[in-house]
Amino acid sequence: MNRLIPMSYYLDEHGIHRVKSADGEELLGSFLEEDVQSSLDNCDIVLQSLSDVARGIRQPFHSTGNAHDVFIQPDRVCIEHLWLYPPVLPLELTMNQFRQALLDWRTFLLSTLTD
């Protein structure tokens, strides 16, 4: 399960950053939209936490955001949605999959944000 997750990024008609995720992997897109949002700072905080856990500098990391719980462990990342009904199964990703999704989101944000 180390393949990259195909996603496409776009601005909706209101100028809000959006993600189209592959079927079965929508939790990753909703995490980016609803918890990281259009914030480079939020993205960088999650990337730094991911790096720190991977390097053993930090214990496994848990964060509760607007709509998701994220658990970063040395061997995997788990995303759970807090509010969906009926509930959906958590999404497990490799560290590399999660890192690449965050880096791609960050690149998209940088390409669209203005001073």
Q: What are the tokens at 104?
A: 């791609």
Q: For the chain, how many helices (H) and strands (E)?
A: 3, 6
**Distance (Å, rounded) from C-alpha 75 to C-alpha 19?**
25
H-helix or E-strand containing 110?
A: helix 95-112
May I ask the CATH class of domain 7-112?
mainly beta
How does residue 9 score in pLDDT terms, banded at 50, 70 and 90?
very high
**Distance (Å, rounded) from C-alpha 52 to C-alpha 46?**
10
Q: Is the pLDDT of residue 24 over 80?
A: no
- The pLDDT mean for the chain works out to 91
| pLDDT of the residue at 85 | 82
| 38 to 2, 25, 58, 62: CA distances (angstroms) | 26, 20, 26, 21
Q: Is the pLDDT of residue 113 over 90?
A: no
